[in-house]
Amino acid sequence: MKFNRRGFIGTGMAATAVVGAPMLMAEGKPRVVVVGGGAGGATAARYIARDSKGAIDVTLVEPSRSYYTCFFSNLYIGGFREMASLAHSYGKLASETGVNVVHDWAIGIDRDARTATLAGGAVLPYDRLVLSPGIDFVEDAVPGWDIRQQNRMPHAYKAGSQTELLKAQIEAMPQGGTFAMVAPPNPFRCPPGPYERVSMVAHLLKEKNPTAKILIADPKNSFSKMALFQEAWGRYYDGMIDWIGPDFGGGDVSVNAEDMTLTIDGEVTKVDVCNVIPAMKAGRICALAGITEGNWAPVIGHTMQSRIDQNIHVLGDASAQGDMPKSGFAANSQAKVAAMAIRGALTGSKVFPAKFSNTCWSLLATEDGVKVGATYEATDEKIAKVDGFVSQTGENTEMRRATYEESLGWYAGITSDIFG
């Protein structure tokens, strides 16, 4: 299928090109199965069901009854947010838009038969499949760590019990103890996330354990909002945080969960809490479906269709799409483009040029928020960045407070946009 961009250029008017012809359905309504009920999947299910006004049968497969947002989970660690405030159920998705919510795991995709098989045994036929499974961790990415050690050394990079565990461990640290983080290599979910987390851990420790130390082993030379984080760490948590980049061995790490040691560039350090955030890859269902290249699932930016199977759309963290970061905001934005394309393909509704955007807020300390954002459009090669901005160092306290309050508004807005 070719996407004709010529209709979009020239007039700048609302283009009405249709992606492909409407499918002729032999048996009843067209069926969409969405796997993964996070920012990408739940948004796609909601928009397809709501905007098609019942013309498309939408099933959402999500194992959790309550979804804990990864975004804002660092604020729970810092004490700015209750865990319960991060939980969202799927009731409104079912009651307001008619999405069939199935709490189960998808364990196999038959691309020829166009069916998704669930762990509970159900086999769901689809005309279009949306995969939005988020991330899994790359095996053996951090020597000495695997899922069996995640209670001793939590990743806390899928929000919920892991986040609560990590916070409990930080609160139980001995006075003057050491919190260590093994930061992930690019690309990974939520680029500012590890560094916002460090800020929130430092905030918590400053109150409860002011002589404690924070050690970050990082394989990257630079990271998102680096100047803003470093300025804040100097201002609020001076002397507490030691960031070890790759020039000093930050990329050469191993852990021993039994001994609670972290080895950086051959030097063994005993730590009290060790937050291991391993390298990431697309949620495993993408590999099972056979649509990954390397660790991620490549997609066509215009529609978020898999480059390997155009009956499948991949959203959010799992996709390799170009310039957008792996964030909840980005997944939500991509879901709307995919929903439009899917409706266009299945019911012939109008299709407009893909537009994407993203903004990531981070909290540095009490009422000190910063943000980075950009707009994107689809080219034939990728999703390409058009324009962007980032908060500046040295901004005044009122602006930072307004940015923080804006982030609260955004959280309320996007969760209502995703879950109803």
Residues at the contact surface with other proteins, assessed by CB under 8 A = 12-14, 47, 51, 329, 332-333, 336, 340, 350, 352, 355, 357, 359, 371, 373-375, 377, 386-389, 398-399, 401-402, 405-410, 412-414, 416-417
CA atoms within 13 A on the CB side of 14: 2
Cβ atoms 186, 218 nearer than 8 A = no
Of 291 and 331, nearer to other proteins (C-beta) is: 331
Of 39 and 124, nearer to other proteins (C-beta) is: 39
The minimum distance between CB 203 and other proteins, in angstroms, equals 20
The minimum distance between CB 356 and other proteins, in angstroms, equals 8
The minimum distance between CB 13 and other proteins, in angstroms, equals 5
Of 38 and 154, nearer to other proteins (C-beta) is: 38
How far apart are alpha carbons 248 and 314 in whole angstroms?
A: 37
Of 292 and 321, nearer to other proteins (C-beta) is: 321
User: DSSP letter string over 129-154?
Assistant: EEE---EEEPTTSSTT--GGGTTTS-
Residue 264 φ/ψ, nearest 5 degrees: -115, 115
The minimum distance between CB 34 and other proteins, in angstroms, equals 16
Backbone CA torsion sign across 44, 360, 399, 397: positive
Of 244 and 378, nearer to other proteins (C-beta) is: 378
Q: Which residues pair with 385 in a beta bridge?
A: 376
Backbone CA torsion sign across 230, 232, 238, 243: negative
Beta strand pairing status for 213-217 and 178-182? Answer: parallel
CA angle 286, 291, 292 (to 5 degrees): 75
The minimum distance between CB 254 and other proteins, in angstroms, equals 40
Q: Which amino acid does the sequence have at 59?
A: T
Backbone CA torsion sign across 415, 95, 82, 69: negative
The minimum distance between CB 269 and other proteins, in angstroms, equals 40
How far apart are alpha carbons 170 and 381 in whole angstroms?
A: 44
CA angle 108, 110, 116 (to 5 degrees): 55
CA atoms within 13 A on the CB side of 289: 34
Of 275 and 333, nearer to other proteins (C-beta) is: 333
Cβ atoms 181, 198 nearer than 8 A = yes
Of 92 and 158, nearer to other proteins (C-beta) is: 92
The minimum distance between CB 273 and other proteins, in angstroms, equals 32
The minimum distance between CB 129 and other proteins, in angstroms, equals 21
Of 234 and 413, nearer to other proteins (C-beta) is: 413
The minimum distance between CB 132 and other proteins, in angstroms, equals 16
Of 298 and 373, nearer to other proteins (C-beta) is: 373
DSSP 196: H
